[in-house]
C-alpha cells in the first residue's frame, strides 16, 4: 500500500476529528505503529511523547479555568482520570481509531487492539495535530473529544466508585452515558429513603435504594455493572 492510498484511507478520520491535516505525512506517521515502522526510531513513539505532554497541558489548563473553586487535590484527581491510559483508549474507540491504525504483521489485527496501543496512538495523533497546527487548534479538538467525560465528572467527588466504573465501561461500548433518575423519596426527614434508577441503551433500567441519592446511585451503578458483566 503506497502512501497516497494510505492517505486516502485516512480521510474519514479527519472528518471525525473535524481537522484536515496540511502535512498528510505527519498524519500518516502518527498512525503507523512501531511494529509496522521501517524507521530505526519510530515517528509514532516520538509523536506519542509530544502528544502526552500537549494533552497534559491542555487538560491542566482546561480544569484550572473550568473549576476556579476546586483545590489542587481535587483538580489532580480529575486530571489523573482524564489523562490515564484507559481514558485515552476510550476516546480512541469513540473516534474509531482502531480502524485507521497501521499495524505490522507481528500484530494480530483480527483480535481486539490492546488498550495500550489505542492509548499510545491517540497521544501520537494529538502530537501530530499540534505539529501541523498550533496549541489553540489542538486544544479545541482535544476538548471537543474529552468534554463529555469532563462534564460527567462534575458531580463526582470520588472518582474511584461504581458510577465512574460504569461510565468507563459504557463509553468503551460506544453507548451514551448512563442516566440516573429519582423515582421516589420516602421516610421521615431525619431518615429518608431514596429510590434511583439508572438507564442505559440496550439494557432494562435498574433500581436501587439508599439513605442518600448518592448512595442509591452507586448501588444502582453496581447492579448495572454486574448485569453488563454477565452479558
Render pLDDT for 137-147 as a digit per residue (tens, 0 to 9): 999 999 999 99
Helix axes 43-66, 115-132, angle to 10 degrees: 80
* Residue of 23, 39, 45, 52 marked catalytic: 52
Question: DSSP string of 151-167?
Answer: HHTTT-S-SSSHHHHHH
- Within 43-97, residue ranges assigned H as helices are 43-66, 72-83, 85-94
* Known active-site residue 52: yes
Work out the mean pLDDT of the chain and round it to a whole number: 85
Domains by residue range for the chain, with CATH: 3-154 (1.10.1520.10), 163-230 (3.30.160.20)
pTM, two decimal places: 0.68
Task: Say what the pLDDT of residue 38 is.
Answer: 57
Task: Say what the pLDDT of residue 116 is.
Answer: 82
Task: Say what the pLDDT of residue 36 is.
Answer: 56
Choice among 135-139, 173-177, 183-187 with the minimum mean pLDDT: 173-177
Distance of CA 208 to the CA centre of its chain: 27
Average confidence (pLDDT) over 164-188: 86
- pLDDT, greater one: 156 or 84: 84
Task: Say what the pLDDT of residue 194 is.
Answer: 95
Task: Say what the pLDDT of residue 231 is.
Answer: 64
* Residue of 48, 62, 123, 217 marked catalytic: 123
Q: Does the pLDDT of residue 41 top 60, yes or no? A: no
Amino acid at each position: 500500500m503506497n502512501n497516497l492510498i494510505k492517505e486516502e484511507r485516512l480521510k474519514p478520520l479527519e472528518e471525525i476529528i473535524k481537522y484536515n491535516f496540511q502535512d498528510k505525512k505527519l498524519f500518516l506517521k502518527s498512525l503507523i505503529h512501531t511494529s509496522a515502522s521501517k524507521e530505526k526510531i519510530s515517528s509514532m513513539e516520538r509523536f506519542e511523547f509530544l502528544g502526552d505532554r500537549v494533552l497534559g497541558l491542555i487538560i491542566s489548563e482546561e480544569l484550572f479555568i473550568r473549576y476556579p473553586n476546586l483545590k489542587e487535590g481535587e483538580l489532580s484527581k480529575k486530571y489523573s482520570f482524564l489523562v490515564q491510559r484507559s481514558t485515552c483508549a476510550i476516546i480512541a474507540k469513540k473516534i474509531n481509531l482502531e480502524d485507521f491504525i497501521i499495524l505490522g504483521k507481528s500484530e494480530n489485527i483480527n483480535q481486539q487492539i490492546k488498550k495500550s496501543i489505542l492509548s499510545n496512538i491517540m497521544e501520537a495523533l494529538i502530537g501530530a495535530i499540534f505539529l501541523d497546527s498550533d496549541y489553540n487548534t489542538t486544544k479545541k479538538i482535544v476538548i471537543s473529544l474529552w468534554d463529555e467525560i469532563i462534564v460527567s465528572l462534575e458531580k463526582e467527588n470520588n472518582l474511584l466508585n461504581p458510577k465512574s466504573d460504569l461510565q468507563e465501561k459504557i463509553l468503551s461500548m460506544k453507548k451514551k452515558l448512563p442516566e440516573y433518575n429519582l423515582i421516589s423519596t420516602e421516610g421521615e426527614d431525619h431518615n429518608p429513603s431514596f429510590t434511583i434508577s439508572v438507564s442505559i441503551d440496550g439494557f432494562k433500567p435498574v433500581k436501587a435504594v439508599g439513605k442518600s441519592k448518592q448512595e442509591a446511585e452507586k448501588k444502582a451503578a453496581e447492579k448495572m455493572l454486574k448485569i453488563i458483566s454477565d452479558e
